[in-house]
Every structure is written in structure tokens, then in C-alpha cells.
A and B are shown apart, each in its own frame.
Chain A
Amino acid sequence: MRFGIVVFPGSNCDEDALYAARDVFGQDAEYLWHKDADLKGADVLILPGGFAHGDYLRTGAMARFSPIMAPVRAFAERGGPVLGICNGFQILLEAGLLPGAMLRNRGLKYRCEHVYLRVEQTDTPFTSAATAGQVLKMPIGHGEGNYFAPPEMLKTIEANHQVVLRYTDPQGRVDEAWSPNGSVNAIAALCNDARNVVGMMPHPERACEALLGGVDGRVIFDSIVRSPKGFALQGIGRRLQPSQTA
């Protein structure tokens, strides 16, 4: 499987994502610069964490105008698997590939710590190797991860089972005290209606080796790399004609 790691000016988790895909999971992986016009045959895309274009206006606000976002959008609309991590999640929201928006963390502080997450949905390409209700421990590092959707939008998101991960206590119970940012309905990860685009605030690429403090992030990569659904997706980037991704 071939990973495309999208690099914006200001991305800073691109190397971590490439390392996880290539060195930990033994997959092909390549950087895609934000000014590139094509996806170089990627089967799966990762929009990594960081501060794309500096995040000066709003987090992720300018990245959606980068040239690479046109083929990213076409890839997503054709069912290609796209994972936005942290700033990548914020970019997917601003680009309208996922519903809702991010606000400053409830406590206004940048939170850099491990959190507990409950797996809500396993029918996405990035959670298919997990079990529903499984509790994962992963690191976060963000100042704007307070997910918000207006009431009607939130109702649709919940009705469509688009919440992929929620912040919980270590036993998997939703508890306001264990939410690092005040996200509505404790939402930590979200997918689109078609389920191929997933955004998550926690960093699975930083939780793939015991040496780095935990391996709970592996299940996200295992899902896309090793699950039957992951294999079904293999080659999707190469099957797209260049004209379809331009």
C-alpha cells in the first residue's frame, strides 16, 4: 500500500507520519508537497499535524486553498481513504470534507498529554481493525481541538454514526472531566457520510512503538494496511486516471 503524506508549509508531523507508514508498517510512503498537482499514485492520504500556513487566521483556514487540495478532494469524493490528524483534521473541516469547526480549547490552554478514547465506529478504513468500545490511549497536542457543530448538524452526525472516537475516562466512560478540550459530545474523531474521510485530534503516528510510550495508535494503521477493507482499497490511487485527480 502506498501512503501519500501531504506536506504544507508549517506541517510538523509529516516525518512522524512517514516514519510510521514506512518504517513501522513497511509500506511505501511519499511526501506530497502542497503545490503538487497530483497524488503520485497514493492509495491512502494522510494530512499530518502542524500549523499549515501558520494557522494565523484560523487553524487550517488557508490550507484549503493549496493546489494539492483539488486532487485530494477528487480522491476523497471517489472513495479514497483520507486521514487528517490534528491540524490535518482542522484542514478537512475548513475544506468542507468533514462537517463542523474547531474552537479554542475550553480552558484556553494548549494541551499536550495522553488521553483515553473509546472506539465508536469500526466501519471506516482507519478503525476496521479495532473493536467497538475498545479504549485506546494516545497523545494529543493542540490548542484548538474543541470540536463544534450546530445542533442540527450534530444531530445528523450522530444519526449517521459519524463519531469515530470519543474522549473518555480510562474505563471508556464519557466524562466531561476527562475531555481535554470541551468538544461537543466528547468528539475526538469524525468521519464523513461516505466513511472514507476521517479526522482525529489524537496522534496515532506518535503511538506506534513502546519506546515512544505506547502502541495504541497501531490499530489505526493496521486498519488501513492489514484489514480486508484496507486490501480492498489497495490500488485505488493508481486506478484513478490522471484527468480524474487533476
Chain B
Amino acid sequence: MRARVFVTLKKSVFDPQGRTIVDALQSLGYQDVVDVRQGKYFELDLATTERAHAEKLAAEVADKVLANPVIESYRIEVD
């Protein structure tokens, strides 16, 4: 199975890269883009066919390694 892990800075944490990007977009005339949050995207190929196991594995990897819980949160999609 494949798991996709999206890691982003928590809403309460200032994202200097996202801020810079939204400023750049607005200077290009995209006034309707009001905010940008930059994050990280991981694709995990998993040697399992069980959805529950895949979800558990991806969550464990995200908790322990891919995300820092002090500043980041994550979302997982499995298929």
C-alpha cells in the first residue's frame, strides 16, 4: 500500500517561508491568495496490504521521525 504524509507547521506557528511566498504571489498580482502555508510531503511505499496496518505504520513513522510535534502537525492518506 502507499501512504501519503503531509507535514505542516501548526496554525499557531509562524511560517516564514509561507509568508515570503504569499508576499511574492501578491506582488505578482494574485491579491486573492490571502495566505500560504508551506509544508513537506512524503510518499511511503509499504509492504502491507492491510489498510489498518498501513495507517498505523505511517502514523508511527510520522510521530517518531517525519514530524516534530512541538511545531508540526500531519495528515495521512492511505490507498
Chain A, range 2-57, C-beta contacts under 8 Å to B: 57
Q: Mark A53-71, 1 if CB is under 8 A from B, else 0.
A: 0000110010000000000
Q: Is A233 interfacial (CB 8 A cutoff)?
A: no
B65 beta carbon closer than 8 Å to chain A? yes
Which one of A57, A105, A149 lies within 8 Å of B70 (CB-CB)? A149
Report if B31 contacts A (CB, 8 A).
no
A106 pairs with B71, CB closer than 8 A = no
Chain A residue with minimal CB distance to B10? A150
The answer to whether the Cβ of A103 comes within 8 Å of any Cβ in the partner chain is yes
A146: Cβ under 8 A from any B Cβ: yes
Q: Tell me the number of A-to-B contacts counted with CB atoms below 8 Å.
A: 35
CB distance from A60 to the nearest CB of B (A): 10
Given contacts A104-B16, A108-B16, contact A150 B68 (CB under 8 A): no
Contacts of B68 in A (CB 8 A): 58, 61, 94, 101
Bound state CA distance, A153 and B12, in angstroms?
A: 14
Q: Which residue of chain B is the closest to A184 with respect to CB atoms? A: B14
In this complex, the member of A58, A105, A146 whose beta carbon has the largest number of chain B beta carbons within 10 angstroms is: A58
Hey, which chain B residues are within 8 Å of A58, CB to CB? Answer: 68
Minimum distance in angstroms from A22 CB to a CB of chain B: 35
Q: How distant is B14 from chain A, measured CB to nearest CB, in Å?
A: 7
A100 at the interface (CB under 8 A from B): yes
Q: How far is the CB of A70 from chain B (nearest CB, A)?
A: 16
Residues of A within 8 A of B (CB): 57-58, 61, 93-94, 100-101, 103-108, 146, 148-150, 153, 182
Contacts A61-B65, A61-B68, A103-B14 supplied; 10 other A-B pairs, CB < 8 Å: A94-B68, A100-B70, A103-B13, A103-B16, A103-B71, A106-B14, A108-B17, A108-B20, A150-B12, A153-B70
Task: Identify 14 residue pairs between A and B in the complex whose beta-carbon atoms are under 8 Å apart, listed by A's number.
Answer: A57-B66, A58-B68, A93-B70, A101-B68, A101-B70, A103-B14, A103-B16, A104-B17, A105-B16, A108-B20, A148-B71, A150-B70, A153-B70, A182-B14
